[in-house]
């Protein structure tokens, strides 16, 4: 069983905004994407790299996963960003607009053993999701639903119907290769009900968490992607019932009128492990 680190809330912070970089030290997020790409204007690209380096050398981000989104390697900044991100101690380097596994190939000579993550946000990237996910340095994927919507010329819908093919292909690819996969952002950052509904959809589809653009979105994502009390209670009862069934020589138990087999126990144990990992992260982040 893999006990993955919690990635329920993954907040983008523009590398060019010292105030937001400072504020993030006290926010209850599981991970931060320090952004050097689309949240930073062309004029600020070089300065943002220095601002971010200062913030990360000062520290204070605790146990939160630190992901740095660099500019594309075809841009004037990408290679220098990648080099700087390694020096800054990034836990992962996120490459935007990955359309094929070969887009990642030039990075490891700069980034060495630092894990790579891919922004999945082009039509070609959706079609190549399986081969991208198989890249040996890749450990995570992030859906870029704004760029994808732009390229597909879709309209935003609460059910995200136009996105479902792309979301599904990336989910399948990530799960098949054991990668983390994080859902796209919800742009209307003052619409709490809309965000909660989209988080619930993403959780039900199997995403590990949601990328966020504003601190007001954190609690909603954390709640949606945490096992609920009812989930934990059910997991415990399933484990107890299954162990009792096994002790009496049976391979199947029944809980709440539903059968419980070995495979459900794997899920139940993962639910308990996730709950513990969330509690451990909260404890580490508050020290
Ligand atoms: C959306 C914002 C521009 C709104 O900013 P602002 O008007 O300053 O918001 P508030 O006044 O409500 O802010 C209150 C305080 O919170 C801090 N803050 C705001 N945003 C963040 C943040 N992301 N991280 C940390 N702290 C944040 C403010 O500094 C205020 O602090 P204080 O003054 O001390 O009270 C703004 O939220 C923003 O810039 N968000 C990030 C936008 C971003 O990163 N966009 C790029 C990523 S999305 C994307 O590209 C996805 C993908 O590629 C795709 O294609 O889909
Ligand atoms: Mg994008």
pLDDT tens for 162-211 read 999 999 999 999 999 999 999 999 999 999 999 999 999 999 999 999 99
134 and 270 both lie in a single domain: no
Single residue among 203, 225, 247 that ends a domain in this structure: 225
197: left (phi over 0), alpha (psi -120 to 50) or beta: alpha
101 and 163 both lie in a single domain: yes
In this predicted structure, the answer to whether residue 2 has a pLDDT above a threshold of 60 is no
Q: What is the pLDDT of residue 283?
A: 86
DSSP element (H, E) containing 163: none
In this predicted structure, the answer to whether residue 4 has a pLDDT above a threshold of 80 is no
User: Is residue 32 lining ligand 1, measured as CB closer than 6 Å?
Assistant: no
15 and 55 both lie in a single domain: yes
158 and 18 both lie in a single domain: yes
> DSSP string covering 193-240, please?
HHHHHHHHHHHHHT-SEEEESSGGGHHHHHHHHSPPHHHHHHHHHHHH
Q: What ipTM was predicted for this assembly?
A: 0.98
287: pLDDT confidence band, cut at 50, 70 and 90? Answer: low
| Full domain range(s) for residue 28 | 9-225
95 and 175 both lie in a single domain: yes
CA of 15 to the centre of ligand 2 (A): 15
Domains in the chain: how many in total? 2
pLDDT tens per residue, range 214-270: 999 999 999 999 999 999 999 999 999 999 999 999 999 999 999 999 999 999 999
Single residue among 194, 225, 256 that ends a domain in this structure: 225
CA of 13 to the centre of ligand 1 (A): 6
173 and 281 both lie in a single domain: no
User: Is residue 39 lining ligand 1, measured as CB closer than 6 Å?
Assistant: yes
User: Is residue 152 lining ligand 1, measured as CB closer than 6 Å?
Assistant: no
243 and 122 both lie in a single domain: no
**Residue 3: inside a domain, yes or no?**
no
83 and 20 both lie in a single domain: yes
User: Is residue 38 lining ligand 1, measured as CB closer than 6 Å?
Assistant: yes
Model pTM? Answer: 0.96
158 and 193 both lie in a single domain: yes
CA–CA distance, 50 with 38 (Å, rounded to integer): 17
55 and 174 both lie in a single domain: yes
Rounded to 10°, the helix 192-205/164-176 angle is: 50
Ligand closest in space to the Cα of 149? 1
150 and 246 both lie in a single domain: no
CA of 97 to the centre of ligand 2 (A): 7
Single residue among 190, 225, 260 that ends a domain in this structure: 225
User: Is residue 171 lining ligand 1, measured as CB closer than 6 Å?
Assistant: no
CA–CA distance, 68 with 85 (Å, rounded to integer): 6
Q: What is the pLDDT of residue 76?
A: 97
> What are the structure tokens assigned to 193, written together?
């009900």
Question: Which residues pair with residue 56 across a beta bridge?
Answer: none
Return the sign of the alpha-carbon dihedral for residues 12, 18, 23, 27: positive
84 and 47 both lie in a single domain: yes
**Residue 40: inside a domain, yes or no?**
yes
CA of 216 to the centre of ligand 1 (A): 9
**Residue 200: inside a domain, yes or no?**
yes
Neighbours of ion ligand 2 (CB under 5 A): 121, 144, 147
User: Which residue has a Cα nearest atom 25 of ligand 1?
Assistant: 20
Ligand closest in space to the Cα of 97? 2
**Residue 120: inside a domain, yes or no?**
yes
**Residue 185: inside a domain, yes or no?**
yes
């Amino acid at each position: 069983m893999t006990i993955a680190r919690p990635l329920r809330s993954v907040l983008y912070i523009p590398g060019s905004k010292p105030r937001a970089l400072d504020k993030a030290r006290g926010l209850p997020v599981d991970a931060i994407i320090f952004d050097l790409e689309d949240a930073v204007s062309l004029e600020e690209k070089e300065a943002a790299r220095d601002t971010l380096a200062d913030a990360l050398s000062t520290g204070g981000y605790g146990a939160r996963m630190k992901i740095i989104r660099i500019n594309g390697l075809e841009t004037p900044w990408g290679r220098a960003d990648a080099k700087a991100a390694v020096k800054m101690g990034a836990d992962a380097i996120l490459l935007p607009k990955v359309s094929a596994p070969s887009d990642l190939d030039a990075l490891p000579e700069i980034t060495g053993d630092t894990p790579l993550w891919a922004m999945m946000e082009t039509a070609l990237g959706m079609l190549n999701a399986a081969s991208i996910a198989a890249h040996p340095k890749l450990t995570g994927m992030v859906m870029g639903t704004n760029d994808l919507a732009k390229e597909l010329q879709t309209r935003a819908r609460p059910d995200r119907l136009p996105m479902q093919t792309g979301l599904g292909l990336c989910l399948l690819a990530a799960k098949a290769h054991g990668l983390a996969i994080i859902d796209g952002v919800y742009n209307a950052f003052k619409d709490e009900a809309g965000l909660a509904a989209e988080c619930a959809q993403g959780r039900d589809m199997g995403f590990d968490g949601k990328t966020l653009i504003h601190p007001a979105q954190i609690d909603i994502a954390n709640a949606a992607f945490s096992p609920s009390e009812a989930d934990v209670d059910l997991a415990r009862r399933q484990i107890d019932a299954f162990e009792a069934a096994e002790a009496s020589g049976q391979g199947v138990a029944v809980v709440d009128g539903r059968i419980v087999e070995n495979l459900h126990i794997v899920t139940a144990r993962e639910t308990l492990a996730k709950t513990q990992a969330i509690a451990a992260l909260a404890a580490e982040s508050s020290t």
